[in-house]
Amino acid sequence: MQRVAEGIGRIVVRGVEEIGFAAALFVESLLWTVCGPARRQPVRLPAVFAQMMQIGIEALPIATVLAATIGMMLAIQSLYSLGLFGAESFATVGIALSVVREFAPLIIAILIAGRSGSALAARFSTMVINQEVDALRVIGISPVRYLVAPALIAMMIMVPCLTMWANIVALTAAGLFVTSALEFSMGAYFTDVAATLSVNDLAHGLGKSALFAALVALVSTVNGALADGGAEGVGRRTTRAVVQSIAAVIVVDLIFAFVVTSG
């Protein structure tokens, strides 16, 4: 029992330390972003744009496919479920709210965690093991300003943009199925969607996507910064970053939905 308690205690302490480390990285990244130009050490815009290309533009094809698939699946299940009660005409309401408030932010966050979060963790792990991060400190360059801040800024910009694109694609794909099944026009479908959604619904989904982006970036960075053990350590930390990012996104999504809905 003592050994079990000690093991649990070590895990808890390690988790708290990693959360504190992530919070420190986030605050330091914000400080460099705001105060860097005054100190003549701004966050490099070319690095931010390069990260934005990798995280956002290059992810457009797979994000489009996933969003269209989710939209079509929601349409199929909504029509089937509501058809049991003869209420197929209300399918548009459920589809619109589900896509914008939940599914688009969640599926994009999981995609970014698996695609860009793993790449970020692998890159940082390799740099830590090769002592490149120590070399940056020796020559007077802050690793947070040089490596963490560009990735964090790019992810918090591009993930909401991808989420907005996923909203459009998913709702369009769902509309193609609903209009063909219920035999009315796409114009009528989008009129119902516009009547269902509000600015608060869009803000809810986009706000969650920005939060998810910060979580993925910080979890990946922390795992990369704590890497050790050579090539095996890189693989271990990359896998751990993806698993923790997806778990954190789902748990935070639950908490966010509960707090906002109950409030």
What is the C-alpha to C-alpha distance for residues 18 and 223, in angstroms, rounded to an integer?
Answer: 9
Cβ pair 189, 90 in contact under 8 A: no
Cβ pair 150, 217 in contact under 8 A: no
Cβ pair 67, 173 in contact under 8 A: yes
What is the C-alpha to C-alpha distance for residues 128 and 228, in angstroms, rounded to an integer?
Answer: 8
Closest C-alpha among 27, 36, 28 to residue 144:
28
- Tokens 């695609």 sit on residue: 115
30-78 pLDDT, tens per residue? 998 888 888 888 888 899 999 999 999 999 999 999 999 999 999 998 8
Q: Mean pLDDT over residues 77-86, rounded?
A: 83
Cβ pair 225, 148 in contact under 8 A: no
What share of the chain has pLDDT > 70, as a percent? 99
What is the C-alpha to C-alpha distance for residues 157 and 56, in angstroms, rounded to an integer?
Answer: 9
Cβ pair 121, 241 in contact under 8 A: yes
The pLDDT of residue 263: 56
Diameter of the chain by CA atoms?
70
201-227 pLDDT, tens per residue? 899 999 999 999 999 999 999 998 888
pTM equals: 0.90
CA dihedral for 18, 143, 116, 110, sign (positive or negative): positive
Higher-scoring residue by pLDDT: 192, 84 = 192
What share of the chain has pLDDT > 90, as a percent? 42
Higher-scoring residue by pLDDT: 167, 263 = 167
Inform me whether the pLDDT recorded for 262 exceeds 70: no
CA distances from 194 to 30, 163, 188 (A): 36, 17, 10
The pLDDT of residue 59: 92
Q: Six-digit token pair at 215?
A: 């979580």
90-143 pLDDT, tens per residue? 888 889 999 999 999 999 999 999 999 999 999 989 888 888 888 988 888 888
149-206 pLDDT, tens per residue? 999 999 999 999 999 999 999 999 999 998 888 888 888 889 989 998 999 989 999 9
